[in-house]
Amino acid sequence: MDRELVFARVGFGPEAVPYLDAWDLQRALHERRVDGRIPDCCLLLEHPPVYTAGKRTSPLDRPVGDPGAPVIDVDRGGKITWHGPGQLVGYPILKLDEPIDVIAYVRAVEEALIRACADFGVRTERVDGRSGVWVRGVAGTQDRKVGAIGIRVSRGVTMHGFALNCDCDLSWYDRIVPCGISDAAVTTLSAESGRQVTVAHALEVVERHLADVLGFGRWRSADSAAELCTLGTPQTPMAGQVTRVG
């Protein structure tokens, strides 16, 4: 089946999307996807600085004192992380095939990010027991996380998604225990490749690999999320349980 994935480039740089606005947009699109009113889609954007705490966040993972950015509790899997300038954030709103395999979906998103990193000359891989995409430490150095994943599946449709560090300020992570992992570090594509890799550089690369790995024969970009409302055709809603992974 020649399925199409529509990417909505929502806001970057000075037009970065506040987290709560993006969350409201996700929920609205999720309902439309469940009802079959829009096709599979993926929001791509940057956020102003924000910390988001998933369901497994421990009090010890949270910042002490004023972290300099809001801390928002969210309904995805995983623990606390940071989003902000220089980081490409993607929120796929996809209807998963039955039987629903959430772990396979997470592994597919990881694979897309691994391939995207490779296009910039950065070798990444998975780490057993930890979601996301990692640069392996050598000669006693720590593993370094370059891509984070935290998702939610409700009624067979995904929400939340991934964050790929392109050229962000890593000092924001010093104020938390990122993803609840104290024995590893975080990094960026720019730091690992030795050249500047911006969100703009990563956009089309990530789109291409995500569409390919998820099995879409076609993909394209929409100018805004509002465009998505005119693209769907009626389909039968898919029932399912809420699942969180991260």
Indicate which residues carry an active-site annotation. Answer: 179
92 alpha carbon, distance to own chain's centre: 8
Among 52, 67, 90, CA closest to 166: 90
Q: Map tokens 């902000």 to a residue.
A: 84
